[in-house]
Amino acid sequence: MKAHKPQRDLASLSLCPEFEFTKWNEQHNRLSRKKTKLKTFIEIGCADFDTLVPLAAKGGWSGWCVEPIPEHAATLREASRGLPVGIVEAAISSFDGHVTMAVGGGQDWARGASHVMDSHHSGAKMLEHPDNVALGLKIAEIEVQSIKLDTFLLEHDITEVDFMKIDVEGHEMEILNHYSWDVKPKIIKCEHKHLSGNTLDKMLKRQGYSLFVETDDIYAIL
SS3 198: coil
- 116 pLDDT tier (thresholds 50, 70, 90): confident
- Highest mean pLDDT out of 24-38, 94-108, 146-160: 146-160
Average pLDDT, the chain: 80
Average pLDDT over residues 69-82: 94
CATH no., domain 10-96+147-221: 3.40.50.150
Q: Which residues 6+ apart lie within 8 Å of 80 measured at CB? A: 53, 56, 65, 87
pTM for the model: 0.79
Average pLDDT over residues 161-189: 94
- For residue range 2-46, list pLDDT tens digits in order: 554 445 555 444 434 344 445 555 665 666 555 557 899 999 998
Q: What is the pLDDT of residue 15?
A: 38
Nearest to 190 by CA among 147, 162, 220, 159: 220
Which of 171, 150, 216 lies closest to 189 in space, CA to CA? 216
